Amino acid sequence: MRFFGGRFVIGLAIVVIGLILLLNNLIEGVDIDVRQILQFWPVIPLILGISWLFASFGSTSSDQGKKVFFSWGQFFTAIIAIAIGVIFLGRNLDLFYVDTRLFWNLFWPVILILIGFSLLRGRALSSGKGGRFAFMGGVNVGGSQPWKLESGSYFAFMGGIDMDLTSAEIAKGETILDLTAFMGGIDVKIPRDLAVIYEGSAVFGGVSFKDQEDGGIVGGRRIEHNIDQSTTDIVRIQARAIMGGVEIKETKD
């Protein structure tokens, strides 16, 4: 089940504020105090937190049947968002007072530690010959023509990388793709029969493999796709998004 998304809730809030300003400017006698409306801004993280809390418990369907999952990252993000919503809404409405200095003093150092850990945890690719770097621009990798896929690190910093593995020649054994999107985006297209081990993590970003998405403050999961006891040739995708996004999707053939 899909609940309210962040873009929907924030977009709706912006539309409401815009309509209020429009009515104030166009209709004489209408004087809605926008400041009074803005004191309810904590409702946004509160709604999103509740939505993420339910979404952290779910199930997916595949050829192997229905699997139940729990997303610890989405659950943690939900708790933080709900806490922010309740604390600041209560303060704005004079229902109670909570000193948030300790929360923020702990929150940002923890976020920086998570970002650093996310960048450091990538598997060493000293033997990999592949890899590209995109800085404030776009890079295309692969395409419709046959090409050889090799282990490598792909880093998008305020830029974008588009990878198409549908015609790639997969080497024997394990091929490792280390993908990092830092304030950027990486899109990967894979063939339906490709054997993949996906390990995704996000800090203030989003990562997705097929129809399974993780994001928010922190998020992540591990998925094995098209793998059984006889599988020998595997592509391991280590994806991390930091204030950015990584999306892996299958071809539709």
Q: State the pLDDT at residue 125.
A: 47
Which portions of the chain are predicted below pLDDT 70? Answer: 1-7, 58-70, 72-73, 121-130, 253
Q: Which long-range contacts (CB under 8 A, 24 or more apart) does 229-232 make?
A: 231/195, 232/172, 232/173
Question: How does strand 168-170 pair with strand 196-209?
Answer: unpaired
Half-sphere exposure in the Cβ direction for 144 (13 Å, CA): 0
Q: State the pLDDT at residue 1.
A: 38
pTM of the predicted model, to two decimals?
Answer: 0.67
Q: State the pLDDT at residue 3.
A: 46
Nearest to 173 by CA among 197, 206, 189, 146: 197
Half-sphere exposure in the Cβ direction for 210 (13 Å, CA): 19
Instruction: Report domain extents, the chain.
Output: 6-98, 130-250
Q: For residues 237 and 190, what is the distance between their CA atoms, to the nearest angstrom?
A: 11
Q: For 154-178, write each residue's pLDDT tens digit.
A: 999 989 999 999 888 888 888 999 9
Task: Specify burial of residue 203 (Cβ count, 10 A radius: 0-12, 13-18, 19+).
Answer: buried
Q: For 3-33, write each residue's pLDDT tens digit.
A: 455 567 777 778 888 888 888 788 777 777 7
- Residues ≥6 apart with Cβ < 8 Å to 18: none
Give the 3-state secondary structure of residue 36.
Answer: helix
- Mean per-residue pLDDT of the chain: 81
Cβ atoms of residues 198 and 226 within 8 Å: no
